[in-house]
Structures are given as C-alpha cells and as structure tokens.
Amino acid sequence: MLSRREALVVPAAVALTGGLHPSLAFAFAADGDDDSTRVFTGDKKPTDPRLGAAKTLNDYHPFVVPKTKEAWEKRRAQVREQLLVANGLWPLPEKTPLNAKVHGPIDKGDYTIEKVYFASMPGHYVCGNLYRPAGFDSSKPPKFPGVLFAHGHWAGGRFHDDGEKAGKASVDSKGEPDMDRARYFMQALPATLARLGFVVFHYDMVGYADSTAIPHRAGFTDTEAELRLQSAMGLQTWNSLRALDFLAGLPDVDPKRLGMTGASGGGTQTFMTAALDDRLASAFPAVMVSTGMQGGCVCENCSLLRVNTGNVEIAGLFAPKPQAMSAANDWTKEMMTKGYPELQQLYDLYGSKDKVAVRAWLEYGHQYNVHAREMMYAWFLKHLTGKDQKHTEAAFKPVVPPRDLSVFDKDHPRPKDEVSAKTLREQMTKASDEQIAKLAPKDAASLKEYQRVVGTALRAMINSDLPKEIAVRVEPVRGVLDGLMVYRAAIGRTNEKDALPVFGVTGEKYNGEKSAIWLHPQGKASLFPNGKALPAVKALTDAGFSVLAPDLLGTGELAFAKGWPVDKGFAGYTYGYNRTLLANRVHDALTLIAFEKLIEKNNTIRLVGWDEFGPIAILAKALAGSAVTKTAADLNQFHFEAITKTDDPMMLPGAVKYGGLGAFLALCAPGEVLVHNHKGTDTGKVSRAAYDAANAANKLTRSAEKLDAAKVIEWLVK
C-alpha cells in the first residue's frame, strides 16, 4: 500500500518514502561517491542553469505576455515596484522645492529658447533649455502640451554638434535633409515641436553640458552605494521625474497633456519615466527598446533593475497609453519581430492595439534622424493635440551656437551650494534613513504600513515569493540510512529551470503533518556526517517531523566551478540581471517551503538556519509569512553594514537602506522566531517594536549567545 506521501506524488510519476516501514525500503546503490545524499549520481550532472554564465545586458531578454489583463495588471504592479526599489525610489524621496531659475530668452521668431536650472535635490542641479511657441504671455497663457526631451549619450548632450564629416554622411545617406539638421538635430527636434505648439524642456543627463558637478559614470559604483541602492541610474531617473515636475508646473503647460521622448540613453530614461510616472500621456523612446542589448552605461543599469524582466516589458508598463518607438540597424534591429508583436498583444488586452507603434529604418545606424523625428511629431500631434496628421520637419536657421545655450554666465554663476557625488550621497543617506525611521511600527496600522513598504522592498531585492506550483526534476530514490527512511530528489519551480537537490528524512513517528526545513552551509550532507544521523536530526524525527535539507545554490552539488562571478567595475551589471547569491539561496528556501506545503501537504512547517545560513532563514520567513510556523536562526554575528565587497556571498543590494537584518526580522512578526548568536545593534529595536505592535512580544526569542543544537531543536519542536 502506498503511503500518504507517496500517493500525493505518484500522479507525477514520483514515489517518496515517508511513512514506509524500513523493511519495504531499499538501500542506496553504491555509486562510487562517499556522499550517499547525492542526487546527480553516475553520469548525471547538475542541470540548474544558474551554475552557468550569469545573464548580461547583451543577452536575449524576451517578453512573455500574460494571458489575461488581470494577470498583466498584477505583473505590472510587481515590475513597477521592482523598478522603484532598484532606482532607490521606494518609497519616493521627499520632493524638495525646485527653486527653478528661468532666464536669458533667445527669440527665434516663431519660438523662443530659455535657460533653466533647478535643484532636483538640495545641492544637485539639473540644467536645460526651455523651448516655447512664440507669443507666450505669462499674464494670459494658453495651455500648451508639454514634452520632456532626454538627449542620450551623444557628445556634449544638448550642446551636441555632429561635425562636418558625420553631418555630410547623414545628408548623403538621406538620413537628414541638410547640414544644419544633420549637425544639430538636438536643436532641430525641440525647435520643431515648439513651432508645432509644444513646450519642450531639453534637460541634461548627469555629467553632460552644464550639469557637470558629478562626472558621468562616476561616484556610484562602490559597495556602500549598492547596499543603499544609490546609483547613477537612480539619480538620473530622479532628475527625470523632477524635470517632469518642472515642466508640468509651468503656467503655459497643460499637465494632462505631457509627453516624453529621447533616443539611446535618452530612450532608456523615456520608457523608465513612462513606467514610473502616471502623468505622462504619451511616449516615444527611440532606438532603445528591444530584446537585445539593454543599455550599456552605468546610468542605464543598477542592481535589481532587470532581474526577470527587460526593456520590452518595462516599456509595456505604459500600456494602454499611446506609445511609439523607432528601431534601426543596431541592437533594436529585430524589434519588428521580437518585441513589437508582444507589445501589440499586450495592448490588445486593453482593446488598444492601435496605440502602440514601431517602425524600423534598417538602412541607418543608431540615430534619431529626421524620419524617426517626423514619426514622433505625428504621434504627439495625434495623441497630445488630437490632430491626426503627418508633419514634414522644416529647416531652421540660424542655429544657436551651443555655447549660447549654456545656462551659466556672469549674471547666473554656478550655484554656490552645488555638491559633489560624495556630499550628495551623504545627504541622500541621511534623508533616506530619516524616511525609513519614520516607518518604525508603533501600532497595528503602522506595522501594516511598515510591512507594505519594507516587505515590498525585500520581495524586489530577493525577486521571489512562494511559488504556486512545484516541479520534480529528478525522481526520488528511496532508501534507509542509519535506521531512518530517506530519499533524494531534485525539485524546482514549474515556470523556471532550476534543479534543487534535496534530501528528505523521516522516522517511524512521522504522520504526514509536520516537517522541518534544514538550511546548512554544508547542505544536505550535513544531516549524516560519516553516514550517521546528527543527534539534532534524530530529535526532529523522534518528535514526528520529516526533515528536508537542500543544497542551496553554491553548496554541495550546486557548488560553482569557478566561484560567484560579479562585475568588478560595477556590480549593477551583474545584479541588474541576476539575483545575488544570497537572494538565490532565499529563493531556493521559498521553493522548499512551497514543496512541503503543496506536494507534501504538511500543515506544520518549521524552518531552521545553521551558522552563516541563519540569516537566509530569516529572509525566507519574512517572505513566506504564515506558511512557516516556527523559525530558528543562528545570526552568526552577521550584519549587512559590515559587507565591504560586492561579491560577498551575503551581498544584498538595498539591505542597509531598509534597516539591515533587524528590519527583515521585523517582517517576521507575529510569527514565532528564535534568533541567537546575534550582534547587538540598534537594528534590534525595530524588530522588537514590530512584535510589540503585533501584540506578539512573547513570540520573538533572542539570545546574544550561540545556542547548541539541542536547545535549538528543543525550542523548534515545542
């Protein structure tokens, strides 16, 4: 007769031992390996793709559209939260006064150009030019649609001059109609929009044109920046949001008719801003959205940003609002067949397939030439003014010499309070710490808000949750070891390709109700050193528990052949596309919890983390909620603030920003938790406050000393 455990998994062609009498089990066959817990034996090799090369910005990043609008809306919310967390904008920082200065109008006849600078944060200035239709009267302003223009990585930014040689090549290839527009397309675009009745703010990327207090690509690539989610990408994105604040607040701009465009890195800022700010009504990111290269600069990358997502899906967050984009003979060249069909499918969920458009000019390289610009003009005319018409860009003369567009002059010198990256980061840290401190739980309502904010951040940092389906990768092999019934198998998530080796143990008292998940640096081999069960394992099985031990990523059979590779120049190039090692291990722990819940149908799940794997248990419990009934964790004197290298196995971008290990322990409330061997820091205050707020102070047990295994198990099975 099949046991209850076996009956649950036989439909999946799997037989597990739990509950079988030892006489019905068989011993493991000799396989030439001293470790009898091995899953991948003989010619079998571990199949988990995470053991291979890390994903990079140059890999293939497809978008799979959910089948229903409801499924997409849920996914959309998750990705948007991920983007906000990654950019260091969850929760949004305080929007301090811009104190914008607008001066030096240049009369161009049918439009004007003004010079602008404002503080996106105290001491950090965004500079740019404001293009307005002629006839602006501040006493009786009409309400024009507004467009934000992000310039991208062209030399000089908004001051860009493509030069005689490149300009002539553009004209000869018919990418541009004349030398003025070929050399100064950065002026041609906003000038044409202003002539068409749009107010355009053309602003600097960090380190370009007038915005040079912080050099481009500098100041945000160290370990502390990672731990606090301070990045060039996040700063640039914040500048874009504040630039939109400036534009929307102008007296002659209709805040309900706002658009944004940009090419290359400016395209990145366009679809990122469109994904994060609901005020935009239309968008046109040029030559950037694709399933190919995702953005090569540090200002287009940051940790957590594109883990399990990519630019096409991020652009899709704007649906069903009208969005068009151009492609060229660059990394976007396959957009018509890889990316655009999926965006059409997504927009079709809303019955708005006509509100997304892509056109490719494969005869041209990476550019925002007159053909793409004219597509953009028609798109904004239609969706921001209601005029369904094409527009042929007219010549513009005279071109304004780039030096005359500069914001600063003798009457408007650089602000004296302008700060460096170091000082700005110190200010950002202080403001963020104060913001997170205000979330400290005081009662049930504030605990709920704390869990919403910090819990959402942790989900984004780990990029995981409890799965709803579990797959068996390697069918279990059953046997007896040291008088206990055991099995070895590999499991994973149905929608992934992971293959997590596990070892299960049960005794005669197991009744199919209680399980303990065992997390140990030595993996599943730690259960039976020298072929003998640890006393702690015996204690668990004697109490009627099954024990499930995995080789988490990087341990046992999932050990790396060449270590854990992290980009040495900027960790965001690695962690922007891959979970960190710690996040992967927490992800695996959540897979185990789901396995016990969904496959084994255990109602009582205990989680125990030993030595340096104790913090993994806390993070998993924080995300698993009530699915885990008791958690015991050796905190191993660990705290995130002590991490000094980005390739540290315990690295978790954002961990310090949200309060460290104590903050994640607070998310475990009101669950029963034992932590021991912890470092006495102020982070303990928030965990105690959370348990007090949950009226569960007696559910959190803390010991500064390292407890022996017997005491931990005694507490765990109680």
- Residue 206 pLDDT exceeds 70: yes
* % residues pLDDT > 70 (the chain): 95
Q: Euclidean distance between the first and final Cα of the chain, in Å?
A: 32
pLDDT of residue 680: 61
- Give the long-range contacts of residues 107-114, CB within 8 A, separation 24 or more: 108/134, 108/191, 108/396, 108/400, 109/134, 110/134, 110/194, 110/195, 111/191, 111/194, 111/195, 112/136, 112/194, 113/400, 113/405
**Domain presence at residue 546:** yes
Contacts of 138 (CB under 8 A, 6+ apart): 251, 252
- Residue 21 pLDDT exceeds 80: no
**Domain presence at residue 425:** no
pLDDT of residue 33: 42
Sign of CA dihedral 191, 196, 198, 199: positive
- Residue 22 pLDDT exceeds 80: no
My answer on whether 506 and 409 are in the same domain is: no
Higher pLDDT, 329 or 681: 329
What range does the domain containing 288 cover?
Answer: 87-416
Of 406-410, 577-581, 682-686, the one with minimum mean pLDDT is 682-686
CA distance 620 to 628: 9
**Domain presence at residue 530:** yes
**Domain presence at residue 66:** no
CA distance 229 to 301: 12
**Cβ–Cβ contacts within 10 Å for residue 683, how many?**
21
Q: Which two tokens stand for residue 301?
A: 């990358």
CA Rg, the chain, in Å? 29
- At residue 433 the predicted structure's pLDDT band, cuts being 50, 70 and 90, is very high
Of 19-33, 139-153, 343-357, 518-532, the one with minimum mean pLDDT is 19-33
Higher pLDDT, 34 or 126: 126
Q: Which spans in 119-222 are helix H?
A: 163-172, 179-183, 185-195
| DSSP assigned state of 400 | P
- Residue 149 pLDDT exceeds 50: yes
* % residues pLDDT > 90 (the chain): 90
- Residue 681 pLDDT exceeds 70: no
pLDDT (mean) for 97-110:
97
My answer on whether 304 and 370 are in the same domain is: yes
CA distance 641 to 224: 8
My answer on whether 103 and 44 are in the same domain is: no
**Domain presence at residue 323:** yes
* Single-letter amino acid code for the residue at 144: F
pLDDT of residue 682: 53
Sign of CA dihedral 153, 155, 160, 165: negative
pLDDT of residue 140: 78
CA distance 550 to 351: 46
- Residue 23 pLDDT exceeds 70: no
My answer on whether 266 and 366 are in the same domain is: yes
pLDDT of residue 396: 82
Three-state SS sequence of 278-337:
CCEEEEEEECCCCCCCCCCCHHHCCCCCCCCCCHHHHHHCCCCCCEEEEEECCCCCCCCC
User: Are the beta carbons of 3 and 18 closer than 8 angstroms?
Assistant: yes
- Which residues, listed in sequence order, are joined to residue 146 by a DSSP beta bridge? 199, 258
Q: Where does a domain end: 416, 447, 471?
A: 416
My answer on whether 42 and 129 are in the same domain is: no
The DSSP bridge pattern shows strands 124-133 and 199-203 to be: antiparallel
Chain centroid, CA 530 distance in Å: 43
Q: What are phi and psi of 556, to 5 degrees?
A: 50, -125
- Residue 82 pLDDT exceeds 60: yes
Contacts of 553 (CB under 8 A, 6+ apart): 48, 50, 581, 584, 585, 588
My answer on whether 108 and 14 are in the same domain is: no
Q: Where does a domain end: 360, 387, 416?
A: 416
**Mean pLDDT of all residues in the chain?**
93
- Residue 25 pLDDT exceeds 80: no
Angle between helices 581-594 and 444-462 (to 10 degrees): 110
pLDDT (mean) for 646-662:
97
My answer on whether 292 and 399 are in the same domain is: yes
pLDDT of residue 683: 59
pLDDT (mean) for 378-402:
94
My answer on whether 239 and 333 are in the same domain is: yes
User: Are the beta carbons of 458 and 664 closer than 8 angstroms?
Assistant: yes
Instruction: Give the tens place of pLDDT for each residue, 270-299.
Output: 999 999 999 999 999 999 999 999 999 999
My answer on whether 508 and 608 are in the same domain is: yes
Q: How many domains does the chain have?
A: 2
**Domain presence at residue 441:** no
Tell me the longest C-alpha to C-alpha distance in the chain. Answer: 96
**Domain presence at residue 61:** no
pLDDT (mean) for 17-26:
36
CA distance 556 to 600: 24
pLDDT of residue 12: 29
489: left (phi over 0), alpha (psi -120 to 50) or beta: beta
- Residue 552 pLDDT exceeds 70: yes
pLDDT of residue 9: 31
**Domain presence at residue 57:** no
pLDDT of residue 135: 82
pLDDT of residue 538: 97
- Residue among 25, 42, 37, 31 at smallest CA distance from 531: 37
Report DSSP letters for 646-703, one per residue. TT-TT--TTTTTTTHHHHHHHTTTTSEEEEES----THHHHHHHHHHHTT-GGGEEEE
Instruction: Give the tens place of pLDDT for each residue, 572-624.
Output: 999 999 999 999 999 999 999 999 999 999 889 999 999 999 999 999 999 99
My answer on whether 626 and 531 are in the same domain is: yes
pLDDT of residue 139: 75
My answer on whether 534 and 641 are in the same domain is: yes
Residue 652's domain is classified under what CATH number?
3.40.50.1820
- Residue 110 pLDDT exceeds 80: yes
- Residue 57 pLDDT exceeds 80: yes
Q: Where does a domain end: 401, 416, 431?
A: 416
My answer on whether 477 and 579 are in the same domain is: yes
pLDDT of residue 390: 93
